[in-house]
Amino acid sequence: MNIKEKIKDRINSINDPQLLDELLRAVELEYEIEHAVELCKSEINAIDIGVSDAEAGKLFSNAEASQLVKKWVKK
């Protein structure tokens, strides 16, 4: 019996809905990690600039950010 078959057999014997939910979350997380979208260079650069700005203290409060978004949406 291979490992997938062993896992399937064990899961089929579980009746605890909470444990099954935890197992499903673990499997879904692994799938998301495995199928993560890779960022292009410009996206990575934008993130790096944002991190540098944050480290330099160039930050906006939540209220300030909300106002900026409202202005951008109006354009």
Q: What is the pLDDT of residue 7?
A: 92
Structural domain total, the chain: 2
Residue 48: which domain range?
41-74
How crowded is residue 11: how many other Cβ atoms within 10 Å of its Cβ?
13
Q: Which residue has the tokens 């444990």?
A: 19
Q: What is the pLDDT of residue 32?
A: 81
Across residues 30-58, what is the average pLDDT? 89
The answer to whether the predicted template modeling score (pTM) of the entire model surpasses 0.85 is no
Across residues 25-44, what is the average pLDDT? 85
Residue 52 sits in the same domain as residue 67: yes
Residue with the bigger pLDDT between 74 and 53: it is 53
Across residues 7-35, what is the average pLDDT? 90
Residue 27 sits in the same domain as residue 45: no
Q: Look at residue 39 and give its three-state secondary structure.
A: coil
